[in-house]
Structure 1
Amino acid sequence: MTYVVGYAPHKHDRSAVELACQLARSLPEPVVAVSVVPRGWGTPVAAGTDREFEQWAAGEGADSAALAAADLAQHPLVEGSAVWVAGRSVPQALLEETAERDAAILVVGSGDDAEPGSIRLTSKTDRLVHSSTVPVAIAPRGYHTSRGVTRITVAFRDDDASWSLLTRVAEISRRASAQLRVVTFLVRPSRRPVTSDVSHAETQVIDLWAVQAAAAQAEAQAHLNSMGLTDDSVHLHIAEGADWAAAVTSVDWVDGDVLVLGSSSTHRLAQVFLGSSASKIIRHSPVPVIIVPGSATG
């Protein structure tokens, strides 16, 4: 098993390596940084040009691997290595490397348009998230930490996928000697400016959600206790807010936290389907996010 890192040298952001090494400090596995360079087309007509292109790409790959090796060297307690591969699609090449190396997690960084400390999915990352059969960890832009994972927060929705995910993450938190926090995000939309029966009905529905969320969390606590986790190692929280930003930021986030989200669908043809709520949670998360595909939660 390994942690595979998608390494992009021209981004000047080493957050993915930082996150992978953080994970490796908590659950030791080798870290492999993979740089993907363009592959030539190999057509007879463009044979000469193609050879020159391949030589250029090989040079880029070797330089990128050297940079990745230097970044990994900053983490001497982690077993790390760096390679480069040629491919016409960066996501596809990373997925192939992930499968070939029997990776536990694929780790990537955020888009260049992300504010420091925040997460933005690029088109390439979005494809990885929707195609990967292993969890995908996304680091906030500029992420840096010297700590291991000290607390794992699970976004809990009280559906089949969430229960399966909760059980799996509970085992991981025990192996990593990390605290486990179960958070249910509850968005309370702003009250309408006029009073109506519909507005009253909406208020009743939202209040019912809160009651159901509290009951589900109590069940989650009992389930985790039956697995051998003590009350001291498990924390329950309902994060409420007028919008997703308020709900996510209402949670106490500290260095050493990671957030785990499950897929919105367990259908075998959609290993990870990011619904609108999951996408909004990711966008506002100030800590690394690990997205677990539906096929991996069962």
Structure 2
Amino acid sequence: MTYVVGYGPRNDDRSALELAFQFARSRPGPVVAVSVVPQGWGTPVAAGVDREYEAWAAGEGQRSAELAMADSAHHRDLAAEAVWVTGRSVPATLIDQATDRDAVLIVVGSAEDAAPGRVRLTSKTDRLVHSSPLPVAIAPRGYRTSSRVARVTVGFRGDDAGWSLLDRVAGIARSSAAHLRLVTFLVDPARRPVTTDVSHAQAQVIDVWTRQAVAAQAEAVVHVRTLGFADDEIEYGIAAAPDWGAAVSSVGWTEGDVLVVGSSSTHRLAQVFLGSSASKILRNAPVPVVVVPGAGA
């Protein structure tokens, strides 16, 4: 079991490594920091320039690997390695490295302009999330922790994709001795979901959604018990609010929490598509977020 970390050549934030080591404390396995540097052109015409460029890239890669090992020294009790590789595409190269190493997770950090403690994708990590066959974990900007994963919160929708996600995450939480929390986020739509002259129609629709969510969660809790979770290891609830920020913050978060979301169940590329709800949850999450591709990936 290996955790592959995307580590930038000029990284000034070790949050991705911190998150990877947190996972490694929960489910033991080596952490491999991978720095991807540009490839040379490889053409005879630009041979001289290409050699200079490759030498520069090699120097960048070596320095990045050394920095990664220095950052890993904060966790001397856990196995760590740092490598640098060349590649045309950072997301594709990270996926190749993870596949070659039989990794269970790819871990990346947030954008440099993300607010401290918040998750924000870069253009590269956005492509990674939408193309990886493996789960991708995103650390909040400046993330630091010495804890293990104590509780896994699943964004549960109650549809087929939600049930598939629940089974996968429950198995991971069980093997990590982490508690499992099911949360269904209900946010009032910006526009009425129906056109009608009936008074309070939107409130009635929200009420129907809530009853359906409660029923789905009750069924899910019964299912989770059959997977070996005791009652004191299961939490569940509805997070209803007028906007996503309020809904996500209303859940309550503590150190050791990790949030898991799945891909869209309605998009034709469901196995790789991060739906609008998951994207909004991710942007408002104050804890690490793991994006799990659909079962078809």
Structure 1 length normalisation: TM-score?
0.94
Q: Secondary structure at the match of 1:77?
A: coil
Give yes or no for the alignment of 1:173 onto 2:192: no
Q: Secondary structure at the match of 2:295?
A: helix
Distance 2:157 2:228 in 1: 22
Equivalent residue number for residue 99 of structure 2: 99
Contact kept, 8 Å, 1:183 with 1:238, in 2: the verdict is yes
Equivalent residue number for residue 80 of structure 2: 80
Equivalent residue number for residue 284 of structure 1: 284
Q: Rate the CA distance shift 1:198–1:276 in 2: closer, same or farther, 3 A.
A: farther
Q: Which moved more, 1:161-170 or 1:264-273?
A: 264-273
Residue by residue over 1:88-125, the C-alpha shift from the partner in whole angstroms, topping out at 9 and shown as x without a partner, is 11111111111111110000000111000001111101
Equivalent residue number for residue 10 of structure 2: 10
Q: State the Cα RMSD in Å.
A: 1.8
Matches of residues 129-278 of structure 1 in structure 2 within 5 Å? 129-189=129-189, 197=197, 200-265=200-265, 269-278=269-278
Q: Rate the CA distance shift 1:94–1:182 in 2: closer, same or farther, 3 A.
A: same
Contact kept, 8 Å, 1:266 with 1:294, in 2: the verdict is no
> Which residue type is aligned with residue 235 of structure 1?
E
Equivalent residue number for residue 113 of structure 1: 113
Give 1:227 deviation, angstroms: 1.8
Residue by residue over 1:15-47, the C-alpha shift from the partner in whole angstroms, topping out at 9 and shown as x without a partner, is 000000000000001110000111100111110
Distance 2:134 2:119 in 1: 20
Contact kept, 8 Å, 2:41 with 2:50, in 1: the verdict is yes
Distance 1:190 1:256 in 2: 33
- Unaligned stretches of 5+ in structure 2? none
Distance 1:256 1:190 in 2: 33
Contact kept, 8 Å, 2:185 with 2:247, in 1: the verdict is yes
Give yes or no for the alignment of 1:40 onto 2:47: no
Equivalent residue number for residue 22 of structure 1: 22
Give 1:191 deviation, angstroms: 9.7
Contact kept, 8 Å, 2:264 with 2:270, in 1: the verdict is no
Q: Secondary structure at the match of 2:28?
A: coil
- Unaligned stretches of 5+ in structure 1? none
Distance 2:291 2:185 in 1: 16
Contact kept, 8 Å, 1:109 with 1:140, in 2: the verdict is yes
Q: Secondary structure at the match of 1:260?
A: strand
Q: How many residues align?
A: 294
Q: Rate the CA distance shift 1:296–1:62 in 2: closer, same or farther, 3 A.
A: farther
Contact kept, 8 Å, 2:9 with 2:36, in 1: the verdict is no
Distance 1:296 1:250 in 2: 32
Residue by residue over 1:53-91, the C-alpha shift from the partner in whole angstroms, topping out at 9 and shown as x without a partner, is 101111111110000011112111211000000111111
Give 1:282 deviation, angstroms: 0.1
Residue by residue over 1:275-295, the C-alpha shift from the partner in whole angstroms, topping out at 9 and shown as x without a partner, is 111100000000000000003
Q: Secondary structure at the match of 2:34?
A: strand
Q: Rate the CA distance shift 1:122–1:198 in 2: closer, same or farther, 3 A.
A: farther
Q: Rate the CA distance shift 1:214–1:87 in 2: closer, same or farther, 3 A.
A: same
Give 1:189 deviation, angstroms: 4.6
Structure 2 length normalisation: TM-score?
0.95
Q: What is the identity percentage for the equivalent residue pairs of Structure 1 and Structure 2?
A: 66
Q: Secondary structure at the match of 1:271?
A: coil
